[in-house]
Each structure stands twice: as structure tokens, then as C-alpha cells.
Amino acid sequence: MVHASSLLTLVVAGLQITPVFAQTESTAEQFLHRSMQRQFSVNVVALLVQRDPTGEGRTQVVRVERDKAGRIHHVVVAPLRLQGTETIDDGKRARTFWPDQNVVIDQESPQLTPCDASWRMDLVKQNYRVRFGKSTKIAGRDARQIIATPKDKRMDTRIVSVDRATSYPLRLETTSPDGSTTVHFDTKEIKFPASIPNEHFEMRVVGSVRKLAYSRPTVLTRDLAREKIGFAPLMPAEMPMGFQLQEIQLTQSSAWRSIAIRITDGLVRATIYQWRSKPGEAKLVSMENSSQRDVGAVRMMVVTDLGEGLREALLVAFAEGSESSFGLSGSWTISARPRSDGSKELSTSLPSFCPLPEPKIYWIRGDRSNCRPADEPKNLRSNL
């Protein structure tokens, strides 16, 4: 079975020996902002160890190549169950080969969308206090820690270690309020060749494979989303924990009509999926970094690297005060009862609804891609 984490967006893009940016730009916020950019001006070949969210303590080893033009090639080296999973992004299309399924997923490149680093950095300034940490060595490079301490005490502190010369991120760690630390990725090897052969950015698969091509999901307003899926998206009057709405997307599957609400606080991203569920319908099989909740006839699932408690807090925020969102006949009520741990337990009372056809789906993860129908290969997952 192929797991989602092999397609997590990889952060290593490129480093260089001499500084790219003016030495006068030396604040922690400026370093962090530059580390969030998409483009770097050198070729890079790197080896990463990144967290595998499918299991505590599991990791993946990924080889990354990126050229000055922004073309990206990465392949999973370990573990064995993911070995050979390969993604190539040429700036127009992002193609991923799943060897155990013998399938190539062809999607629009996320690089076709505008870079939102400046907008996200404005959110960082609202939601975090950013300062320098200690100096260190990572993969032979002089690095400096950038510590982003959240103003909301429930959120994790994020520690990005960046290359001193280029501000490129080499390591990401988070520390939760209880003191536990998670390393999300760490650079183990890195070099800067003068060039990378063009053929390294061409997908070459031996034998016959099935190819599935998809465009970017449709971006919707809230009113248009209601027309498409039959209810107004459940949205809080005010986003919790400093999050802001990025966009609402309509999934591409005709078998599973849902929306994806994408939010961020500048450093953390989360996606809340919403769809009308059939009364008595079982919840989807649990996915890594996800939580689910029903609000009447609407089911929600949040996907983010936040812990379970914070995922639940997001779901509660989207559920509370959303009575006017449904536009369904009959009356219903929603109440939130505080729990001992500070979270809230939702209670709803809904009228009867006509059963909807049971959706048959499987998950694909990949930058901003969505669910696909069940007649496509099962168990494929990429970045939700």
C-alpha cells in the first residue's frame, strides 16, 4: 500500500555558497520570509530525512534535485514499501509514479499559482513572535535557528533552521505546549552542482502504465459552493487561532461531491473537507493527521500536521454558530458542551433527510488535489 507522506511537499529547493541577499537584511523575520520563497538561484542535490506521519517514529529518506529554473525531481529511497515513488515537477505539470500501483498521476504544477509567501508572512507577524535562536551546523552548512513562538498558547512553537548564506530551510522542528518535540524534516547531505541533466526532469517509466491526468480543482465563492454541493459551507464567524481563509475548492470527483476549505496561520496549513453524509453512514477510514466530525447532515474532516486536540478545536470552530449555513428544510439545533480538557463536545438535533447515494472513494494526496472515484486504483494517496 502506498502512503500519503511520500508526496508531502519537500522544502529543500536550493542553496548556494555565496550570499544571495544583502547582508543588511538580517532580522529573524527577514530570514524567515526569504526561507518561504519558492525560487533559489543555484542547483541543488540533497538527501532528506522527513517524518512519516503514518506511524510514530517512522521516517522516510528522500533524494531531491532542483535546478535554477525551479524544476524539481524527488524520489523516495526508503523505506522499502515506498521505494521508487517518484515525482517530477517541471513548472507546468507535476507527475508522480507509484511503482506498486503502476500508475502515473499527472496534475497541474502548484508553481502555476502565485507565490503567497508575502501574504503568509503578514499572518506570521500577526500570530507569532519571531526571533533568532542558536547557531548550528547542518549537513556541513552554517545554519541559524529562527524560532516562531505562537501568540495562541495552544499552538506549537516552530523552529526553522536556515542556511546563513541563503536563508534556505535545512530543518524544521516543532515543540508542543507539553514540551514534546517533533522533527518534521532534516537535511543530511547537500551539494551544489554546476548543472543537472535535463533528463533528470523527465518521467521515464519502463513498460506500460496507467496514466491519470487532472486539472486544478475549481475555486469557489461561498455562495457558488452552496449551489454546487447543496449547502452553504460551514464557516466560523471568526477563524480560530489566527487562521485565515486561503480559498474554497470543489473536488473533482463526480462520485463524491465535496469542498475543500484551505486555511493557514502563515506557517501552518490545514484543509477542512465538507460533504453531505448519509444517515448512519460510517466514517471514512482514519487518515494520518486527520480528524472527522458530523454536524447534522454534513460531515467534516480536517487534515493538518497539528495534534489531535487542535484538529478538534478547528472542527468545533467550524461547527459552532453554523445553523444558518445549511439551508435545509426542517429545524435543527446545535450546542457545545465544555469538556474537562477545555475542548467542546457538540450535540445536534436534525430533521430527516432523503438518503444520498453512498459515495465510493479513495484518497489521493498531492498539492491541492482531491478525492477520485473508486473505479480508479485504490489506496493512492498524496498531499491533501
* CATH code, 360: 3.30.200.100
Contact 269, 248 (CB under 8 A): no
pTM: 0.74
From 212, 242, 272, the end of a domain falls on: 212
pLDDT per residue as tens digits for the range 211-230? 988 888 888 888 888 888 88
Does residue 238 share a domain with residue 201?
Answer: no
Strands 103-108 and 290-295: unpaired
Does residue 223 share a domain with residue 205?
Answer: no
Mean pLDDT along residues 69-81: 92
Does residue 144 share a domain with residue 227?
Answer: no
Does residue 84 share a domain with residue 29?
Answer: yes
Containing structural domain, residue 140: 4-212
Does residue 228 share a domain with residue 342?
Answer: yes
CA–CA separation, 189 and 31 (whole Å): 22
- Max CA pair span of the chain: 67
Residue 379 covered by a domain: no
CA–CA separation, 76 and 59 (whole Å): 11
Contact 322, 350 (CB under 8 A): no
State how far the alpha carbon of 68 is from the alpha carbons of 40, 71, 81, in Å: 7, 7, 31
Please provide the average confidence, as pLDDT, over all residues in the chain: 77
Per-position DSSP letters for 229-249, written without gaps between them: HSSPPP--SS-GGG-EEEEEE
pLDDT band at 145; cut points 50, 70, 90:
very high
Residue 384 covered by a domain: no
Q: What is the pLDDT of residue 381?
A: 37
Does residue 336 share a domain with residue 308?
Answer: yes
Does residue 315 share a domain with residue 228?
Answer: yes
Residue 383 covered by a domain: no
Q: Report the half-sphere exposure of 73 (CA within 13 A, side-chain side).
A: 17
From 163, 182, 212, the end of a domain falls on: 212
- In DSSP terms, 68 is beta-bridged to none
Does residue 306 share a domain with residue 169?
Answer: no
Helices (H) and strands (E) in the chain, counts: 4, 22
Q: What is the pLDDT of residue 283?
A: 64
Does residue 243 share a domain with residue 112?
Answer: no
Instruction: Provide the grid cell at 51.
Output: 517524518
Does residue 46 share a domain with residue 103?
Answer: yes
CA–CA separation, 33 and 349 (whole Å): 46
> Helix axis angle, 117-127 relative to 28-35, nearest 10°?
140
pLDDT per residue as tens digits for the range 303-360? 998 888 999 999 999 998 554 443 333 333 333 444 444 544 443 333 322 222 333 2
Q: How many domains does the chain have?
A: 2
Residue 169's domain is classified under what CATH number?
2.50.20.10
